[in-house]
Structure 1
Amino acid sequence: MDCKKPISAIRLFFLAMTCFFCVVSVIGQSKNERNQIQKSYNKEQLRSLIFQFEKEQLSKDTQMKKLLAGKGWKQVEKTSDGTFVELNDVGDDGTPLFYATLNSPSSEVSRANSLYTNGALELGLNGTGMQVGVWDAGTALESHQEFDVRAFNGDQSESVSSHATLVTGTIISSGMKPKAKGVAFGAEAFTHDWTRDKIEVAQAAAAGLLLSNHSYGIKSDRVPDWYFGAYIRVSQDWDKIMYNAPYYLMVSAAGNAQKSFDNEAPIFGKTADGFDLLLGFTTSKNALTIAGANTKIDNRGELKEASVTTYSSLGPVDDGRIKPDLAGDGSTVLSTSSKSNSSYETSVGTSMAAPGVTGSLLLLQQYHSELFGNYMKAATLKGLVLHTADDVGSKGPDYKMGWGVINTKRAAEVLQDKDYRTYMEETRLSQGDTLIYEFKASGDLPLMASISWTDPEGEYVNRGELNSTTRALVNDLDIRIFKDGTAYLPWKLNPNRANDAATKGDNLVDPYERIEIENAKGNYTIVITHKGQLKNGIQDVALAVSGVQVSNCSTEVPDRIELTSFDEESAMLGWAESEDTLFEVQYKASGAASWEIEYVYENNLTLEELEMDTEYQVRIRSICTENKVSDFSDEYQFWFNGRDTEVIGYETFSFDEPLEISVYPNPATNYITVDAALSNDAVYSVVTSSGFVAKQGSATEKINVADLASGLYILVVQDYAGIKSSKFYKN
């Protein structure tokens, strides 16, 4: 059901004057997280931008009323193929801009399922505690059984849209019907009517919104040819929002016009080739524009085949930037319908590809927060998924699927390996600066380095020039890699030869650059510079590097543990040395319920205040990062008796079956139980994702987890048959 109830322009203006940021103030995760996001924002600039959009909206409303009356058009219509169309804007040249939904009647394609409980990475992620914004032809049906109480009407619109319900379900459906399960099935969605999209998004971004999905665009058969690929006022406005709210990222569908023949004067080729069809905010520099892909994924989550769908709108944009940026699942997707609280529909199109990507990005933000205690800036998140996408077809990017098919699993692995085998940094380039980094190639993977930045809005706005090549890029940053006098350059594309494979050279147009070196060996120097003057004198930039040896740390289990000396109150332990490795040493008197824990970088530790005539147990593990941790060593035992201390050696047992455990329920709310054959002496430790012990005790009883914060944990169980661990998620 699609219905509209108009809101008067006077009332909208009054709302704007009384409250700039109140419309969606609940968006932006927790209050502390919103504060963390907002502290880097210039609120005055955002306030001014929102006020500007409000004034323009009043003017556009007047223009649209005159057009509707003069032409005898309907403001809202539903076409025979189910597309929802509405006059929603007027171009600077007076062209009426009709917004249209982009379905043509996901988690496996994006590999987001690798991040779930029992997924390949076993991270227990599902989006719980995260919020996403959805703007569409109306709001989603909040009462649908798949949404529980996790879908909200973000702008009090009375328009319930089937398309918005489909899109929202692709992101957050809980999976009551398993095949309709959303990518981030524990997240909350705030859905909105598209009528005031720029204003509401600016308000939400100012309040801490991280991501929004836009599976609609300008209807391609109702604009002059110069609009295709052009950087217009709409493109500029969205870039302004993202530049002024640098944690916010817009995700938009590329469109389904490939076979429309709507652009009779493309920048490359003939109309039938399907190039140069992107419109409106899909040509923004800072957003992610998503193409639709047909894919074949094996049971290990590896991409075997991929091609752009026959409907997905192709780039380039007129200045030659790489658009679309990325591809998602554009095949037939089952999702929620607004016909009833238990109805479902299937749909194809970039409308479904975009929310699949949005849900994956939400999981990556959740994972980064769990690992490092904060969220990525939008440029970092965007750079991460472009850095890790599955390359498709010819090497490098193209104008059909951008950098390839999103690979959420690989992106999560880059986060896991941070400061171990990958390097990520959010930094700042000031006028005249040069940033220099030295790395040693790991030797087993290609060396890849990329930079991503949220660029200031373009200064040139096209108002009627066909295929204008004027660059939208404002701050032109450069990345280069050097080794033994050889300079390695980034990928780039040529819009005048849009069907050609990517080449390497000086990229003058994209706010993302990536360099790849196959069979890299030895040491390399990465240099980041800029051309000309930086607007505002500075530019934040995100660097991602993979295929390098950032640390010499080893996750080998520590061995050669021995007592090197002892006196009346203490004993010194030693073990094999390992460079750049943090060691966790746990020790206790035999029979004690809990372990004493010490952390050292040296390969020795003095155990203080030991009790006489007492048997002690020691175990040690290596920690390289918060996510690269070895198993514990076998337990080393000694009988402490001052200078008469005796070494017992390593604890050894003989069992027919190794220790195997599982945890239920998972996810857990109040208690978990260990499912295993355990002795009465079995003990457990609940370990955080950063490697610290949250609680310990007997593993034969129910374990109370009600007092733990929501997140991913590792349950470590020790018994005579050995040590085993299992991950669980606390709701």
Structure 2
Amino acid sequence: MNVNSQTYHSFTILLVCCAIMWGVQIVSAQTVDQRLKITAGTNITSLNNFKSTLKYEYEANTVLLHKLAEKNNWKLTDTLANGQKVALQEIGDDGSPLYYETFADEAGLVSRATTLNTNGLLGLNLDGENLEVGVWDSGIALSDHVEYTSRMHVGDEGAEVDKHATLVTGSIISTGIKREAKGVANKAKVISHDWSRDKIEVAEAAANGMLLSNHSYGIMADRVPDWYFGAYTKVAQDWDKIMFNAPYYLMVSAAGNAQKSNDNASPLFGRDNDGYDVLLGFTLAKNGITVAGANSEIDKHGNLKKASVSAYSSFGPVDDGRIKPDLAGNGSSILSTDSYSTTSYNLSSGTSMATPGVTGSLLLLQQYHEELYGSYMRAATLKGLALHTADDVDAPGPDYRMGWGVMNAKKAAELLFNKDYNSYITEETLANNTVFSMEIQAMEGETLSASISWTDMASTFVNKGELNNTMKALVNDLDIKITKDGKTFLPWKLNPGEASSNATNGDNAVDPFERIDIPNARGNYTITITHKGKLQNEFQEFSLILSGVQMNACSVEAPQEIEIDTVDEARLNLTWEQNNDALYEVQYRETNQQEWITEYVNENSFAWEGLNLEHTYTLRIRSFCSQNVASEFGYAMTFTFKGAETVLESFNTLNIAPELSFNVFPNPAFNAIQLNLNTTDTTMYRIVSTSGVELKMGKVPNSRIDVSDLPPGLYVLQVQDFGLKKSAKFYKY
């Protein structure tokens, strides 16, 4: 049965009181209503209590660090020969000193985010405006750099300006005064912090409505014993607690650059020089996104042509077999802001630079979802969307080098746009001992993909010194399966004991994200979501994402044959051919008026009232197949109202001869579209995005146009020949 998502209410007074009690300035990244929607689902009491625990631990830890540093001659902070800053942050459960370091050796940045920006391929004009992201790093960014245009604010008093923090911040929000240094979300805001009180400050900001934070640093791999690698330790547990209690907040962290370090002499798999099993610290938190570095080539349409993991990027697995890293950022040396002066720039590299590209892309996807649907996604939905739409690399399924593949913000945005047409996204709640099930129809010949994602409780188990302990950290174990005609399809899974092997299908009992892919799907399938054992807290919120599905039977075509059904003294009833599952937009006016009057109807009929005899009117109609997918308006129909003698006439607003009927088929299209027009050597075409960005143009040989190089989406085709012009929309699979 379907279980409706738990409905939360906004506790305005509680939020404000907690903000005052914590001494936190309410962020200005969203409106008050938007922040309240986010924080309504936040367990503020638990976060407040946990923050107090973190503050107590931090103060006690600071005293202990100074004592042990003096006793053991440890440096509290240091600058390495390559300029990299390190700092003694904590003492591990086994007494090991845990140093934070920045991850910058060779670079990565998600280039597909540019397709969402102003003047980008999709024409969406998404730049992160009025949104805010937190950046924690080895220091704070240079706040008055010209690229930030007063959009960077300092969250820590007394913290030092830092080169690495400035580079990371610029990768997210640089305006683009120097074009090559333009940030992914170049109108967003950053609150910059140093890393010394990261958990405490993030808990405060998440309770206040922060959606995302970037962490391009981690624990130094060459200063810990081997059991730390792949282990679920207290630091991972702490971050999972924050994310579980703030379900709209997502942590994005760099995987690290230890692939060739030989730091783990006792890996769970292979030899110490294979690169596997070198992740540690908060990169192993269940609920965040850990970013690897990739070398990739993207074509002008935003399609991945080839990719490979960067030579520096740290591999998984987690000791319990979880898939980490989660995905990869598009890698190359990138230019960003430098702290030397307010106008300086520098090249930088590493998973440090792959991570802000992913963070910025995720911020744009939140912005787009809010524009389309009026709300932000839960963190589990956002994470699931990124993993669901990542570009797979090499063998099918995930791996322990780049997770689910190279992030594809373009594909993710298209999936959001086509929600309820050929994709589906829902946030649900599974109660204890219940089952979620739904029937779906696959789009013929496409890959049917179904994934579930959830924010899991922090595990009570914490590894305190056992090498390669495989105890799983997952608390609430949800399962997804797809069935058809007695056949069962199961999700991808990896085997940490054979970390270099390809993914297989089976029962995934360790990951809080599961995905099933069925190539060349046909017909109807049943999706079932269950759980193992007893759910902690008696329920588990989860997000379900589907692609390659036919969510309705609607055709993206404007009604063509509009007829008069009945006529009264001042009323005209119009009908047209039914388009299954469509919503119709009807626009009408007196012909001598400039403004259209708009109404929406669910049925294939419209009652036009208040008509005056001998007045001339115009009407046009288009179909909506989902909230966002619509046809062009059909030919406008004009008539002079004469009561029972009224006759409709086609009013061609595009100056093309009425006898030239124009259609595109197949629609939706696969590799080519055919026109039912006899074209000549002079017939030209243009294909533009729905926002007007020209993508292709040329002549129309044999009334056929190749569209195989276009990514999936909705397009406008314009055809012109000697002043005759016509346009139509088509959908490309």
- TM-score bin, normalised by smaller chain: 0.7 to 0.9
Following superposition, the deviation at residue 47 of structure 1 comes to 0.7
Following superposition, the deviation at residue 19 of structure 1 comes to 5.5
Amino acid at match of 2:440: F
Aligned mates of 1:372, 1:438 — CA distance in 2: 24
2:466 corresponding residue in structure 1: 465
Aligned mates of 1:105, 1:418 — CA distance in 2: 37
* 8 A Cα contact 2:145 2:341, kept in partner: yes
Aligned mates of 2:257, 2:446 — CA distance in 1: 36
Give runs of aligned pairs for residues 182-221 of structure 1, distance below 5 A.
182-221=183-222
* 8 A Cα contact 1:21 1:204, kept in partner: no
Give runs of aligned pairs for residues 228-627 of structure 1, distance below 5 A.
228-627=229-628
Deviation readout 1:195-236 (Å, 9 max, x if unpaired): 000000000000000000000000111101101110000000
Following superposition, the deviation at residue 117 of structure 1 comes to 2.6
Greater mean deviation of Cα atoms: 235-244 or 79-88: 79-88
* 8 A Cα contact 1:440 1:548, kept in partner: yes
* 8 A Cα contact 1:27 1:209, kept in partner: no
Following superposition, the deviation at residue 114 of structure 1 comes to 1.4
* 8 A Cα contact 1:106 1:183, kept in partner: no
* 8 A Cα contact 1:106 1:356, kept in partner: no
Q: 1:34 to 1:724 in 2, by over 3 A?
A: farther
1:153 corresponding residue in structure 2: 154
Deviation readout 1:345-373 (Å, 9 max, x if unpaired): 10110000000000000000000000000
Q: 1:151 to 1:406 in 2, by over 3 A?
A: same
2:178 corresponding residue in structure 1: 177
- Secondary structure in 2 aligned to 1:564? strand
* 8 A Cα contact 1:637 1:651, kept in partner: no
Amino acid at match of 1:539: Q
Aligned mates of 2:724, 2:604 — CA distance in 1: 27
Aligned mates of 1:419, 1:587 — CA distance in 2: 28
Aligned mates of 1:648, 1:483 — CA distance in 2: 50
Following superposition, the deviation at residue 31 of structure 1 comes to 1.4
Aligned mates of 1:649, 1:197 — CA distance in 2: 66
Aligned mates of 2:171, 2:398 — CA distance in 1: 27
Following superposition, the deviation at residue 532 of structure 1 comes to 0.3
Aligned mates of 2:328, 2:229 — CA distance in 1: 20
Amino acid at match of 1:178: R
Count of aligned positions: 653
* 8 A Cα contact 2:554 2:580, kept in partner: yes
Aligned mates of 1:721, 1:595 — CA distance in 2: 25
Following superposition, the deviation at residue 24 of structure 1 comes to 5.0
Amino acid at match of 2:397: G
Aligned mates of 1:721, 1:453 — CA distance in 2: 54
Amino acid at match of 1:484: D
2:30 corresponding residue in structure 1: 29
Amino acid at match of 1:317: V
Aligned mates of 2:143, 2:416 — CA distance in 1: 34
Greater mean deviation of Cα atoms: 537-546 or 592-601: 592-601
1:67 corresponding residue in structure 2: 68
Aligned mates of 2:459, 2:237 — CA distance in 1: 6
Deviation readout 1:373-404 (Å, 9 max, x if unpaired): 00000000000010000000111000000000
Q: 1:162 to 1:107 in 2, by over 3 A?
A: closer
Q: 1:323 to 1:523 in 2, by over 3 A?
A: same
Amino acid at match of 2:121: A
- Secondary structure in 2 aligned to 1:345? strand
Following superposition, the deviation at residue 43 of structure 1 comes to 1.5
Greater mean deviation of Cα atoms: 641-650 or 464-473: 641-650
* 8 A Cα contact 1:152 1:191, kept in partner: yes
* 8 A Cα contact 1:139 1:157, kept in partner: no
Following superposition, the deviation at residue 474 of structure 1 comes to 0.5
Question: TM-score normalised to the size of structure 2?
Answer: 0.86
Question: TM-score normalised to the size of structure 1?
Answer: 0.87
Aligned mates of 1:86, 1:307 — CA distance in 2: 32
Aligned mates of 1:725, 1:341 — CA distance in 2: 49
Q: 1:203 to 1:722 in 2, by over 3 A?
A: farther
Deviation readout 1:214-265 (Å, 9 max, x if unpaired): 0000011110110111000000000000000000000000000111111110
2:48 corresponding residue in structure 1: 47
* 8 A Cα contact 2:422 2:551, kept in partner: yes
Q: 1:217 to 1:88 in 2, by over 3 A?
A: same
* 8 A Cα contact 1:107 1:113, kept in partner: no
Give runs of aligned pairs for residues 7-156 of structure 1, distance below 5 A.
21-26=22-27, 29-104=30-105, 109-156=110-157
Following superposition, the deviation at residue 149 of structure 1 comes to 1.0
Aligned mates of 1:130, 1:653 — CA distance in 2: 41
Aligned mates of 2:363, 2:19 — CA distance in 1: 31
Q: 1:172 to 1:303 in 2, by over 3 A?
A: same
* 8 A Cα contact 2:107 2:350, kept in partner: no
- Secondary structure in 2 aligned to 1:36? helix
Q: Does 1:650 align with 2:689?
A: no
- Secondary structure in 1 aligned to 2:643? coil
Q: 1:521 to 1:653 in 2, by over 3 A?
A: closer
* 8 A Cα contact 2:109 2:332, kept in partner: no
Deviation readout 1:70-93 (Å, 9 max, x if unpaired): 133332211111211011111122
Aligned mates of 2:726, 2:443 — CA distance in 1: 31
Give runs of aligned pairs for residues 619-638 of structure 1, distance below 5 A.
619-638=620-639
Following superposition, the deviation at residue 408 of structure 1 comes to 0.5
Amino acid at match of 1:134: V
* 8 A Cα contact 2:290 2:326, kept in partner: yes
Following superposition, the deviation at residue 105 of structure 1 comes to 6.0
* 8 A Cα contact 1:617 1:635, kept in partner: yes
Following superposition, the deviation at residue 641 of structure 1 comes to 2.3
Aligned mates of 1:155, 1:51 — CA distance in 2: 18
Amino acid at match of 2:193: H
Aligned mates of 1:156, 1:194 — CA distance in 2: 12
Amino acid at match of 2:338: S
Aligned mates of 1:460, 1:639 — CA distance in 2: 78
Q: 1:439 to 1:167 in 2, by over 3 A?
A: same
Following superposition, the deviation at residue 20 of structure 1 comes to 5.2
Deviation readout 1:131-173 (Å, 9 max, x if unpaired): 1000000111110000001000012243111100000000010
- Secondary structure in 2 aligned to 1:387? helix
* 8 A Cα contact 1:138 1:164, kept in partner: yes
Deviation readout 1:673-698 (Å, 9 max, x if unpaired): xxxxxxxxxxxxxxx99xxxxxxxxx
Q: 1:480 to 1:591 in 2, by over 3 A?
A: same
- Secondary structure in 1 aligned to 2:119? coil
Aligned mates of 2:18, 2:250 — CA distance in 1: 26
- Secondary structure in 2 aligned to 1:120? coil
* 8 A Cα contact 1:126 1:186, kept in partner: yes
Aligned mates of 1:649, 1:87 — CA distance in 2: 77
Q: 1:84 to 1:17 in 2, by over 3 A?
A: farther
Greater mean deviation of Cα atoms: 351-360 or 79-88: 79-88
Aligned mates of 1:220, 1:158 — CA distance in 2: 25
* 8 A Cα contact 2:612 2:641, kept in partner: yes
Aligned mates of 2:117, 2:445 — CA distance in 1: 28
- Secondary structure in 1 aligned to 2:367? helix
Aligned mates of 2:435, 2:283 — CA distance in 1: 32
* 8 A Cα contact 2:113 2:410, kept in partner: yes
Following superposition, the deviation at residue 181 of structure 1 comes to 0.3
Aligned mates of 2:498, 2:35 — CA distance in 1: 45
Amino acid at match of 2:625: C
